[in-house]
């Protein structure tokens, strides 16, 4: 009798175990619970990547737009330059989680084409305007633009992109530096002087 009872108890355990493993009613919920975190991570990473790409395009637009506006002037004053830079910062809307820095530098290439000297420079950093590079200091320009007796406007736009979602595991995605540099020649005059820069 004891052997038969022990045998029946063991059979009952195996029967319950086989029923448990063959029961498929909750498998969809378990699969969903396992896959959902991965899907959420993929969604948020995709969202951040698309916003970062769009913000990078907008940083490039800042540089080209500001350079275009300055080179259309025959002359400027400090207030004009600062107003143009502030217009450039509005371009980032609605992705304005961090403020861009914009630097406008007027450059005169020497008569022999060997030197590029700063004529005037202004910058806007965190919404505050200030002088840029000191006048008459030498600066660098691409060799293809170093044409004798020419005048250039250089606009540098930079931004440190801060994602909404800060990934704690890697510091690569915490802050992404973005920047663009544009060189344009004056369109309506030979130079663009700044009266009080």
pLDDT of residue 9: 56
Q: Are 70 and 62 in contact (CB under 8 A)?
A: no
For position 105, what pLDDT does the model report? 96
Residue 169 is predicted with a pLDDT of: 44
For 122, half-sphere exposure in the C-beta direction (CA atoms, 13 angstrom radius) is 23
DSSP 9-38: HHHHHHHHHHHHHH--TTHHHHHHHHHHHH
pLDDT value for 1: 44
Burial 157-179 (b: 16+ CB within 10 A, else e): bbbebebeeeeeeeeebeebebe
Average pLDDT by stretches of 10, the chain with 197 residues: 51 73 72 87 85 89 93 94 91 77 95 92 92 93 92 94 64 75 93 90
As given in the structure block, the two tokens for residue 4 are 């038969």
99: part of which helix (H) or strand (E)? Answer: none
Contact 151, 190 (CB under 8 A): yes
- The pLDDT of residue 122 is 95
- Widest Cα–Cα separation across the chain: 115
Rounded distance between C-alpha atoms, residue 156 and residue 98, angstroms: 16
Instruction: Report the predicted TM-score, pTM, of the whole model to 2 decimal places.
Output: 0.75
With contact defined as beta carbons under 8 Å apart, do 146 and 113 qualify?
Answer: yes
Question: What pLDDT shows up at residue 191?
Answer: 93
């Amino acid at each position: 009798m004891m052997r038969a009872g022990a045998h029946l108890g063991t059979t009952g355990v195996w029967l319950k175990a086989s029923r448990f493993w063959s029961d498929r009613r909750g498998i969809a919920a378990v699969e969903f619970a396992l896959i959902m975190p991965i899907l959420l991570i993929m969604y948020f990473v995709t969202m951040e990547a698309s916003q970062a790409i769009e913000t990078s395009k907008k940083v490039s637009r800042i540089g080209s737009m500001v350079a275009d506006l300055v080179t259309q002037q025959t002359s400027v004053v400090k207030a004009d330059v600062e107003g143009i830079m502030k217009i450039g910062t509005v371009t980032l809307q609605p992705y304005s989680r961090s403020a861009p820095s914009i630097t406008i530098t007027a450059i005169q290439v020497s008569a022999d084409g060997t030197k590029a000297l700063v004529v005037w420079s202004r910058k806007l950093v965190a919404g505050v305007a200030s002088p840029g590079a000191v006048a008459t200091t030498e600066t660098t320009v691409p060799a293809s633009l170093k044409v004798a007796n020419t005048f250039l406007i250089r606009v540098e736009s930079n931004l440190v992109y801060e994602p909404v979602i800060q990934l704690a595991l890697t510091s690569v995605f915490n802050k992404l530096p973005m920047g663009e540099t544009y060189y344009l020649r004056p369109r309506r005059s030979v130079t663009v002087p700044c009266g009080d820069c």
